[in-house]
């Protein structure tokens, strides 16, 4: 089977993307199940990966290959929706028709499946005709699977090597972990994984980062139960490192969510931080509480609050503040293809991002470091927010991060970190390191 983390190399006359289906036939029941799951995921705004895991695990009588087939078809439709709608010549195609079009790209669509999907013989013939054309001749917004809002953002950014970026965003993401050094070093974790027949290797530049060669069941491993590692994309690990928190410092994670980066910060500093983790949603902090218990961190302070509002008086004077802002998540499309079509209130989101940066700056001590990060590719959520902040606060400065192992091409001429899946093998991230005015700058 081909490596799904690598873009498919085009062959003359057949450069279309195609789902990577397991051997064997696709049956109508699988097509209909994928269509049903797609409807629920898109209508209810559910996370695709978790929904698939739950739904497929509940179907105990289904064979392994059939589950894989439904999973692959579902994710492929979410990733390639514009391409499939173009093939169907219908921007309001049914999910069943989209699954049928996905099957046609894998040369696995037969007349029975086409009929089950609701395609008339004429529509099936038109699909076959369109599929016989060249992929490269499609409009770029279709080839890159961008809906109109995403296409506008893409154009505002104008990334270089757009084709390779688009391909990387369509691919499957690897599974990354960060080791908890209080349980042993990274090599010990890699050895332990090898003992469970899970192939893994260290991630270049990230001393705690581990990448699995293929997905594996991790939650049953003794190392997981013991808090020996957390699943975390390499891009998130770079956000943690950008803060450069030193043992003994007071650190504020203002948008901690379920705490992936909070735990990373604690690991980087061997637990020696006075860390306060906040989030608007108390249930996310509950998940962080459970994780910290497994992880062995008892000193973490958790605060549910709206960080766009004035912060409580004791949340001030922090050495380092992290704002891992809510965003469109466009950098994570590999893991969350359902976000490609999500409706976004762009103005409301930008206002929240500006306010969070404002509140975060007020909580930073003179000379302290503030890191603003998103997992978005779009300048409107990144450079625009930070540059507007610096224009309002000219005494603050942007600092160019000096992080050992960070690839040179990840730092822009302005000093922002921009990570891309095609260049750095991780989710797309934007990281800005800002220094508060003051005569006691952080190291
Ligand atoms: C990108 S996620 C954070 C992910 C998290 N840091 C991690 O590493 O797992 C953004 C978080 O911001 C939180 N958030 C959104 N609006 C907020 C607000 N007004 N105040 C505080 N948190 C907010 C969301 O609940 C969400 O958990």
Q: Is the CB of 336 under 6 A from ligand 1?
A: no
Report the length, in residues, of the chain: 443
223 and 102 fall within a common domain = no
44 and 187 fall within a common domain = no
| Any domain includes 3 | no
* pLDDT value of position 137: 93
The pTM of this model reads: 0.93
Does residue 261 contact residue 237 with C-beta atoms inside 8 Å? no
377 and 401 fall within a common domain = yes
Distance (Å, whole) CA 94 – CA 261: 39
CA 352 to ligand 1: nearest atom: 19
- Distance (angstroms) between ligand 1 centre and the Cα of 306 equals 10
pLDDT in tens, 419-443: 999 999 999 999 999 999 998 778 7
What are the CB-based long-range contacts (under 8 Å, 24+) for 217-223? 218/175, 218/177, 221/192, 221/193, 221/196, 222/192, 223/183, 223/189, 223/192, 223/193
| Any domain includes 18 | no
328 and 413 fall within a common domain = yes
Query: 370: which 2 tokens?
Result: 């503030």
Give the up-direction half-sphere exposure of residue 356: CA atoms within 13 A in the CB hemisphere: 31
Closest residue to atom 15 of ligand 1, CA basis = 326
Q: Is the CB of 263 under 6 A from ligand 1?
A: no
Does residue 230 contact residue 180 with C-beta atoms inside 8 Å? yes
* pLDDT value of position 184: 87
275 and 412 fall within a common domain = yes
- Distance (angstroms) between ligand 1 centre and the Cα of 253 equals 9
Burial 219-241 (b: 16+ CB within 10 A, else e): eebebbeebbbbebbbbbbbbbb
Test site for ligand 1: of 230, 266, 278, 279, most ligand atoms within 8 A of the Cβ: 279
312 and 242 fall within a common domain = yes
216 and 252 fall within a common domain = no
Q: Is the CB of 279 under 6 A from ligand 1?
A: yes
Distance (Å, whole) CA 325 – CA 378: 13
**Closest to 31 in 3D by CA, of 122, 97, 126, 106:** 97
Q: Which residues are catalytic?
A: 375
| Any domain includes 219 | yes
Work out how many domains the chain is built from and give that number.
3
- Distance (angstroms) between ligand 1 centre and the Cα of 326 equals 5
Distance (Å, whole) CA 248 – CA 9: 50
| Any domain includes 440 | no
Last residue of a domain, one of 134, 166, 188: 134
199 and 320 fall within a common domain = no
Q: Is the CB of 256 under 6 A from ligand 1?
A: yes
CA 375 to ligand 1: nearest atom: 1
* pLDDT value of position 14: 58
The answer to whether the annotation marks 279 as part of a ligand binding site is: yes
CATH of the domain at 189: 3.30.70.1170
Distance (Å, whole) CA 420 – CA 173: 12
The answer to whether the annotation marks 306 as part of a ligand binding site is: yes
* pLDDT value of position 299: 85
| Any domain includes 15 | no
Q: Is the CB of 260 under 6 A from ligand 1?
A: yes
Closest residue to atom 2 of ligand 1, CA basis = 326
Does residue 349 contact residue 364 with C-beta atoms inside 8 Å? no
Query: 37: which 2 tokens?
Result: 């799951």
CATH of the domain at 357: 3.40.50.150
**Closest to 316 in 3D by CA, of 266, 264, 377, 362:** 362
The answer to whether the annotation marks 15 as part of a ligand binding site is: no
266 and 353 fall within a common domain = yes
Closest residue to atom 10 of ligand 1, CA basis = 326
Residue 184: CB atoms within 10 A of its CB come to 16
Last residue of a domain, one of 117, 134, 151: 134
| Any domain includes 258 | yes
Closest residue to atom 1 of ligand 1, CA basis = 326
Domain that includes residue 249, residue range: 234-435
On the 0-12 / 13-18 / 19+ scale of CB atoms within 10 A, 111 is: exposed
- Distance (angstroms) between ligand 1 centre and the Cα of 371 equals 14
Q: What is the 3-state secondary structure (H, E, C) of the chain?
A: CCCCCCCCCCECCECCCCCCCCCCCCCHHHHHHHHHHHHHHHHHCCCHHHHHHHHHHHCCCCCHHHHHHHHHHHHHHHHCHHHHHHHHCCCCCCHHHHHHHHHHHCCCCCHHHHHHCCCCHHHHHHHHHHHCCCHHHCCHHHHCCCCHHHHHHHHHHCCCCHHHHHHHHHCCCCEEEEECCECECHHHHHHHHHHCCCCEEEECCEEEEEEECCCCCCCCCHHHHCCCEEECCHHHHHHHHHHCCCCCCEEEECCCCCCHHHHHHHHHCCCCCEEEEEECCHHHHHHHHHHHHHHCCCCCEEEECCCCCCCCCCCCCEEEEEEECCCCCHHHCCCCHHHHHCCCCHHHHHHHHHHHHHHHHHCEEEEEEEEEEECCCCHHHCHHHHHHHHHHCCCCEECCCCCCCCCHHHECCCCCEEECHHHHCCCCEEEEEEECCCCCCCC
- Distance (angstroms) between ligand 1 centre and the Cα of 60 equals 35
* pLDDT value of position 442: 80
| Any domain includes 11 | no
Closest residue to atom 9 of ligand 1, CA basis = 260
Q: 151 CB contacts (<8 Å, ≥6 apart)?
A: 141, 144
Last residue of a domain, one of 134, 161, 194: 134
- Distance (angstroms) between ligand 1 centre and the Cα of 256 equals 6
Which residue positions in the chain have pLDDT lower than 50? 1-13
Q: Is the CB of 421 under 6 A from ligand 1?
A: no
Distance (Å, whole) CA 392 – CA 405: 33
80 and 101 fall within a common domain = yes
330 and 414 fall within a common domain = yes
| Any domain includes 65 | yes
- Residue 65 has φ and ψ, to the nearest 5°, of -65, -35
pLDDT in tens, 64-93: 999 999 999 999 999 999 999 999 999 899
83 and 33 fall within a common domain = yes
Q: Is the CB of 368 under 6 A from ligand 1?
A: no
- Residue 264 has φ and ψ, to the nearest 5°, of -60, -40
């Amino acid at each position: 089977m081909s490596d799904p983390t690598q873009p498919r190399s085009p062959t003359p006359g057949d450069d279309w993307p195609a789902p990577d289906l397991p051997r064997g036939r696709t049956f109508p029941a699988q097509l209909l199940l994928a269509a049903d799951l797609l409807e629920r995921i898109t209508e209810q705004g559910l996370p695709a990966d978790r929904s698939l895991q739950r739904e497929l695990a509940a179907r105990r009588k289904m064979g392994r290959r059939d589950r894989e087939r439904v999973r692959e078809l579902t994710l492929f439709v979410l990733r390639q929706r514009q391409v499939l709608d173009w093939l169907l010549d219908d921007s309001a195609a049914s999910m069943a028709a989209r699954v049928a079009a996905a099957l046609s790209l894998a040369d696995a669509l037969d007349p029975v499946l086409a009929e089950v999907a609701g395609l008339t013989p004429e529509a099936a013939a038109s699909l076959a005709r369109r599929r016989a054309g060249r992929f490269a001749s499609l409009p770029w917004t279709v080839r890159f699977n961008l809906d109109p809002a995403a296409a506008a953002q893409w154009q505002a950014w104008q990334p270089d090597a757009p084709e390779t970026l688009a391909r990387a965003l369509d691919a499957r993401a690897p599974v990354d972990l960060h080791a908890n050094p209080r349980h042993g070093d990274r090599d010990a974790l890699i050895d332990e994984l090898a003992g469970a027949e899970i192939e893994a290797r260290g991630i270049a530049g990230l001393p705690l980062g581990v990448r699995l060669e293929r997905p594996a069941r991790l939650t049953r491993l003794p190392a997981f139960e013991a808090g020996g590692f957390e699943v975390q994309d390499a891009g998130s690990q770079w956000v943690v490192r950008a803060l450069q928190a030193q043992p003994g410092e007071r650190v504020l994670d203002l948008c901690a969510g379920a705490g992936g980066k909070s735990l990373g910060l604690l690991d980087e500093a061997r637990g020696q931080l006075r860390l306060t983790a906040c989030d608007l949603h108390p249930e996310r902090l509950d998940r962080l509480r459970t994780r910290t218990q497994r992880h062995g961190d008892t000193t973490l302070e958790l605060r549910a609050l709206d960080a766009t509002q004035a912060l409580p008086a004791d949340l001030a004077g922090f050495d380092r503040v992290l704002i891992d802002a809510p965003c469109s998540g466009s950098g994570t499309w590999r893991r969350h293809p359902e976000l490609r079509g999500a409706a976004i209130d762009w103005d409301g989101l930008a206002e929240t991002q500006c306010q969070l940066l404002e509140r975060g700056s007020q909580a930073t001590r003179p000379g302290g470091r503030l890191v603003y990060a998103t997992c978005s590719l779009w300048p409107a959520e990144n450079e625009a927010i930070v540059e507007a902040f610096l224009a309002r606060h000219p005494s603050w400065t942007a600092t160019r991060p000096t992080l050992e192992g960070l690839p040179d091409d990840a730092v822009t001429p302005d000093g922002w970190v921009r990570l891309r899946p095609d260049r750095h093998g991780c989710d797309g991230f934007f990281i800005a390191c800002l220094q508060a005015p003051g005569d006691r700058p952080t190291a």
